[in-house]
Amino acid sequence: MAPANAQLSSQLVLARLLAGKEQSSFIVVEDSLRQSALPLVQKLAAQSTPRRGPPDTRRNDLVVCCVENPPRVVRELFPYDGAVFVDVFSSYSLAPPRTQPGLPTATAATIGEYLSSLASKDVKTTVVFDSINPFVTHHSIGAFARLLKRLAGLSDSISLILPFHGDCVPRSVHTLLGDIAVTVLTVRHAKDFGVALGSSLATDNGDAFRLVDANATGGAVVEVMHKRKSGKITREVAVYTTDGDKWRLNTLEQVRGSEDLVEEKKSIADEPDPTANLSFNLKLTDEQRAARSEVVLPYLYMQQADGAGTVQQHQMQQPTVSSAEAAIYYDDDDYDEEDPDADLDI
Amino acid sequence: MSFPLVDAALNWQSPASVQPTRGLSSPSPTHRRQPDAAAVKRQAAGASSERTVIVVSDQVGAEGGFVLNHFIHRHLRLEEQGWIVVLVGLAQTWEHYLAVGKKLGLNIALSQQKGRLVFLDALTHLATGTGPFAHNEGATSATTAASPLQGLLASITAAYQACSSSPAQKKLCLVVDDVSALQSCGLPTKDVLAFAAGCRELVYEENGCLVLLAHGDSVAAGVDDDDGSGVICRSLIHSATHVLHVAALESGLTQGVDGQITFARGPLLRDEEGFNPEVLHYQITDAQINFFKKGFSKGLL
């Protein structure tokens, strides 16, 4: 990546959030059936993982609230040492509750109180939910709004990351979350923006999104809306691409530009050579090419304009100018000025 | 009968590679050719179906119930691995599954006698609240105290635990046909989703496989629905590892092809599973179901 592009990428709000250089106390992450936000949420949570060392030197704590998926599954999704898991899932499942040692449980009514008890002035605590959709499904919009208000009013040392599935909730929930959040990250499939990332380049599914393209692993587009403390609102469209554990962030323009370059290189490289598989030889060696250039072609009229604008005709002479400089002079003897269209008569 | 091509698409080890096949349908010549070198190679290193949640979404005009037979038969054939199939019939009766099983070459009544298949007739008993719905013991949560689905989930758990296998080897394959019927019967969306959440928890506890059929017309069309039926399907897909979209052929009617199945990646599928999303075509005949790679149908060749 060019240095200018690298500098531009590092200035992205998303890049600063993932690097821990920008703080946001309330991040809402929206996804859909087309593209899951799970990799992005995992990356955000990884940035907040507890630093190893004695408790008094730790700067971050990570609390993962299991709401949509069983704690057993969420533990695998967020395999970070020192993370605290809270079971909210049991209150939204018909299965009889299973008490697991060391796994605190909470409900929508008690989660705020529980999280505030974890808050500490010295340690920055990041609270990640696997999804907040069950809150919307099982409670009224009013109760959900009160829950959000309670979460937003927690201690300043607590940062919240709340993912939700935008295609499963009413429009009012989008508005509510957009109003209360400091940062809204909307994860979209790359094909929605006409770009192909990672492994999707290799597929032959065309440019339009199809169901088979869902949840691409190569990367996604993230629409970012970030409210700064000064009141300024920053909007940007970032693209993340993943290759294993390596993450790369770019702007959409950068990706589109590099994609054009890739396409251009590809078209030149992939252009078939018609002389490749012939049973006879159509190519010339350098010696043959030099010999050919020395051949004097008979009856070649080369017209060369001199400084005065007159035309001199040289016969039996080897061409000395390129074809780009040559011109064709046509003298029509049959041209009749009184009837210019005479040649059209049948 | 199970379908090697479906197993290959899911990157699962085919039962055929575990034990010799009997009563396997004789699909078209293209089908016999289909498990090509790449598919066989993938199957050899394929993952198992443990700890998977599969959502089958279908549409009007392209019903996905036939796909469930693959998962039922596949896990019944993996007898030595301790799979026990619990089939919750909300759309069809026992006689239907029995007849379809016979056509496809598997006597599921025999499996039921052996204690490897349990059928819960939820369709018949849903209105009366009896049968599997009468199993109302167990704890209740505050939001779903009166839901009859709590009894159904308790019946599923009890039926699985009563099956004869050594507890160390038992694995649960839970097939629900279909979840949308619960909503059609008047049960609230939150109860249906809580039931599905309970099923997922049970399956993860038992290292099993959960297969849910739901109607997803609005999902495929990418539009919002008025009655909220799409919310259930979409919510289920958000918690799935694999998603199978059954739809009519997108290019229109073609001789020899009845529709297509899209094998899509679910949000919870781990990268190391080595799953490659793809689309297969299928044809349902009187006696069998044939799957093809795109363009390999007998009607096209």
Spatial separation of the C-alpha atoms in residues A220 and A197, rounded to whole Å: 7
Spatial separation of the C-alpha atoms in residues A226 and A224, rounded to whole Å: 6
Residue of B nearest to A209 (CA): B222
Domains and CATH numbers, chain A: 1-16+191-226+233-260 (no CATH), 26-49+58-93+101-181 (3.40.50.300)
Report the pLDDT value the prediction gives residue B286, as an integer from 0 to 100.
82
Beta carbons within 8 Å of A55's beta carbon, 6+ residues apart: none
Averaged over A232-237, what is the pLDDT?
92
Report the pLDDT value the prediction gives residue B157, as an integer from 0 to 100.
92
**How many Å lie between the alpha carbon of A57 and the closest alpha carbon of chain B?**
34
Q: Tell me: the pLDDT tens digits for A135-183? A: 999 999 999 999 999 999 988 889 999 999 999 999 999 999 999 999 9
Q: Tell me: the pLDDT tens digits for A29-40? A: 999 999 999 999
Of B147, B191, B237, nearest to A33 by CB-CB distance is B237
Other CB atoms within 10 A of residue B248 CB: 16
- Residue contact A214–B277, C-beta within 8 A: yes
Mean pLDDT estimate for chain A? 81
Report the pLDDT value the prediction gives residue B31, as an integer from 0 to 100.
37
A63 falls in which pLDDT band (50, 70, 90)? very high
**How many Å lie between the alpha carbon of A182 and the closest alpha carbon of chain B?**
25
Spatial separation of the C-alpha atoms in residues B189 and B183, rounded to whole Å: 7
Reading the block at residue A3, the tokens are: 């240095």
**Taking CB atoms and an 8 Å cutoff, what residues of chain B touch A217?**
265, 271
Spatial separation of the C-alpha atoms in residues A196 and A216, rounded to whole Å: 10
- Residue contact B141–A211, C-beta within 8 A: no
Question: Of B201, B178, B182, B200, which Cα lies nearest the Cα of B190?
Answer: B182
At residue A194, φ and ψ (nearest 5 deg) are 75, 20
Of B200, B262, B263, nearest to A70 by CB-CB distance is B200
- Residue contact B144–A215, C-beta within 8 A: no
Q: Are strands B52-58 and A183-188 parallel, antiparallel or unpaired?
A: unpaired
Reading the block at residue B184, the tokens are: 């059609």
Instruction: Identify residues of A whose CB sits under 8 angstroms from chain B CBs.
Output: 31, 33, 36, 38, 68-70, 72-73, 76-77, 89-98, 107, 131, 133-134, 137-138, 165, 167-168, 210-217
Beta carbons within 8 Å of B25's beta carbon, 6+ residues apart: B1, B104, B105, B287, B288, B289, B290
Residue of A nearest to B142 (CA): A91
Output the pTM of the full model.
0.78
Q: Tell me: the pLDDT tens digits for A44-59? A: 998 876 555 555 554 5
Collapsed DSSP state (helix, strand, coil) of residue B63:
coil
Of B142, B193, B268, nearest to A73 by CB-CB distance is B268
ipTM given for this complex = 0.82
- Residue contact A72–B269, C-beta within 8 A: no
For testing contact with chain B, the best of A42, A89, A94 (most B CBs within 10 A): A94
Of A68, A131, A212, nearest to B264 by CB-CB distance is A212
**Taking CB atoms and an 8 Å cutoff, what residues of chain B touch A100?**
none
- Residue contact A73–B143, C-beta within 8 A: no
Beta carbons within 8 Å of B233's beta carbon, 6+ residues apart: B55, B57, B180, B214, B215, B216, B218, B219
**Taking CB atoms and an 8 Å cutoff, what residues of chain A touch B270?**
76
Give the Å distances, CA to CA, from B292 to A53, A167, B44, B257, B301.
Answer: 57, 32, 20, 9, 12
**How many Å lie between the alpha carbon of B182 and the closest alpha carbon of chain A?**
15
- Residue contact B153–A94, C-beta within 8 A: yes
Of A31, A70, A217, nearest to B204 by CB-CB distance is A70
Q: In what order do the strands lie in the sheet with A124-129?
A: A84-87, A60-66, A124-129, A158-165, A26-31, A183-188, A219-227, A233-243, A246-251
Averaged over A277-287, what is the pLDDT?
82
**How many Å lie between the alpha carbon of A45 and the closest alpha carbon of chain B?**
17
Predicted confidence pLDDT, tens digits, chain B (301 residues) = 567 888 888 878 766 654 433 333 334 333 333 444 444 444 444 568 889 999 999 998 888 999 999 999 989 988 888 899 999 999 898 999 999 988 888 889 999 998 899 999 888 777 666 666 666 554 444 444 567 888 899 999 999 988 866 666 789 999 999 899 988 888 899 999 999 999 999 999 998 999 999 998 877 666 666 566 789 999 999 999 999 999 988 777 777 888 999 999 999 998 776 788 999 999 888 888 888 888 777 666 5
A–B CB contacts, 8 A cutoff, strictly below: 111
Report the pLDDT value the prediction gives residue B27, as an integer from 0 to 100.
40
Collapsed DSSP state (helix, strand, coil) of residue A302:
strand
**A188 beta partners:** A221
At residue A283, φ and ψ (nearest 5 deg) are -95, 155
**Taking CB atoms and an 8 Å cutoff, what residues of chain B touch A168?**
231, 234-235, 238
Report the pLDDT value the prediction gives residue B22, as an integer from 0 to 100.
35
Residue of B nearest to A93 (CA): B194
Spatial separation of the C-alpha atoms in residues B265 and B262, rounded to whole Å: 10
Round the CA-based radius of gyration of chain B to a whole number and report it: 19
Give CB contacts under 8 A, 24+ apart, made by A97-103.
A97/B139, A97/B141, A98/B205, A100/A71, A103/A71
Between B166 and A125, the more confident residue is A125
**Taking CB atoms and an 8 Å cutoff, what residues of chain B touch A215?**
264-267, 269
* DSSP one-letter string for B2-49: --HHHHHHHTB--HHHHS---S-----HHHHH-S-HHHHHHHHT-B-S
Reading the block at residue B118, the tokens are: 């349990």
- Residue contact B197–A107, C-beta within 8 A: no
- Residue contact B267–A215, C-beta within 8 A: yes
**Taking CB atoms and an 8 Å cutoff, what residues of chain B touch A216?**
265
**How many Å lie between the alpha carbon of A204 and the closest alpha carbon of chain B?**
11
